[in-house]
Amino acid sequence: MKAFVVTRYGQPLNEVEVPEPTVGEHDVLVEVRAAGLNQLDEKIRTGEFKQILPYPLPSPLGHDVAGTVVRVGAGVRRFAPGDDVHGRPRDGRIGTFAGRIAVAEDDLAPVPASMTMAEAGSLPLVALTAWQALVERGRLRPGQRVLIHAGAGGVGALAIQLAKHLGATVATTASAANAEFVRGLGADVVIDYRAQDFTELVEGYDLVLDSQGGEILTRSLSVLRPGGKVIGIAGPPDPAFARARGLNPVLRLAITALSGKVRRRARKLGVGYEFLFMHADGDQLRQIDGLVEQGVLHATVGRVVAFPEIPQALRTLGKDGVRGRTVATR
């Protein structure tokens, strides 16, 4: 079976022969028909996350899958051969840039009838990230205010829609060219990040979803009300993440130091900072799919490429002006 793998950090993906997946008792073997491309894949390829995501090399890439069930393990009850499914395989079992992948039953959900395979492959990681940031961690409620950075991106586009469904007032940053696009998703306040300073336009917000990190993250703390929170998906990781991942004491200390500056700044302002590294969850994905079926959420596929184009498309991800997701299909 062919798969795109990382053979050395910083090098382009290579298409190589890999063994057929082993299907465990509670696994579903999926014939891959669509796979979303994510910034997480690119960060793993470049080695940016090698300390906190220590995949042994060579390692297959790909965190989103949509496809058809080929075979199921003896303990699987929710799916049968021929079913169309999608999901985000759990950490340690990624590799959707391949012909087939074995995925834990609990990480999958049926593909809604209203979705194309490209849309189904675009949704899991970004939608679960938005859900876990706004619902699971942020506990966003009607009447609250949320700032979502990079609203035209994959996570941002889903987060705007979900936040509006939850009854929040939504501000977002985007380029002037994408202003109407994010307004169409439901954004109430659109800030041109190239020409405007978001810290001068919003204040007293309950929650910020930050996908940028660095200076944007630090400055986002100042737009919160006392007790508000920034949830960051670009880092730096915090001690809670290190504990949850079971990292060794040396790495825990290093991660504590990495996020020390932003956590100290947050405490001084009376606000909070949490790092979110999303997790696979088929049940949450089913809830999200229900909102898609109701017309509340819409997958935003900006570009579809063929599987052989994955290495090049991954290297240009986020630099190509694509609105929403890039998805590889076959």
Position 54 pLDDT exceeds 80: no
- Band the pLDDT of 38: cuts 50, 70, 90: very high
Write down the pLDDT at residue 1: 94
Residues of the chain above pLDDT 90, percent: 85
Six-digit token string for 72: 């199921």
Q: Which residues make Cβ contacts (< 8 Å) with residue 27, sequence separation at least 6?
A: 72, 73, 76, 102, 103, 104, 105
Distance CA 170, CA 152 (A): 13
- Band the pLDDT of 254: cuts 50, 70, 90: confident
Taking residues 143-158, report their average pLDDT: 96
Q: Could you tell me the end-to-end alpha-carbon distance of the chain, in angstroms, rounded to an integer?
A: 15
Taking residues 61-87, report their average pLDDT: 98
Hey, what's the torsion of the CAs at 316, 321, 327, 329, to 10 degrees?
Answer: -80
Write down the pLDDT at residue 287: 98
Q: Report helix, strand or coil for 260.
A: helix
- Band the pLDDT of 98: cuts 50, 70, 90: very high
Lowest mean pLDDT among 12-26, 31-45, 237-251, 277-291: 237-251
Query: The dihedral of CA 111, 112, 117, 121: what is its sign?
Result: negative
- Band the pLDDT of 256: cuts 50, 70, 90: confident
Write down the pLDDT at residue 53: 74
Pairing state between β 325-329 and 108-110: unpaired
Write down the pLDDT at residue 229: 98
- Band the pLDDT of 21: cuts 50, 70, 90: very high
Position 249 pLDDT exceeds 90: no
- Band the pLDDT of 14: cuts 50, 70, 90: very high
Containing H/E element for 320? none
Write down the pLDDT at residue 68: 98
Quote the DSSP letter at residue 269. Answer: H
The better pLDDT of the pair 190, 245 is held by 190
Position 255 pLDDT exceeds 90: no
- Could you tell me the domains of the chain? 2-123+299-329 (3.90.180.10), 126-275 (3.40.50.720)
pLDDT digits (tens, 9 = 90+) for 283-295: 999 999 999 999 9
Write down the pLDDT at residue 253: 87
Taking residues 102-114, report their average pLDDT: 97
- Band the pLDDT of 199: cuts 50, 70, 90: very high
Distance CA 250, CA 213 (A): 23
- Band the pLDDT of 321: cuts 50, 70, 90: confident
Taking residues 146-157, report their average pLDDT: 95
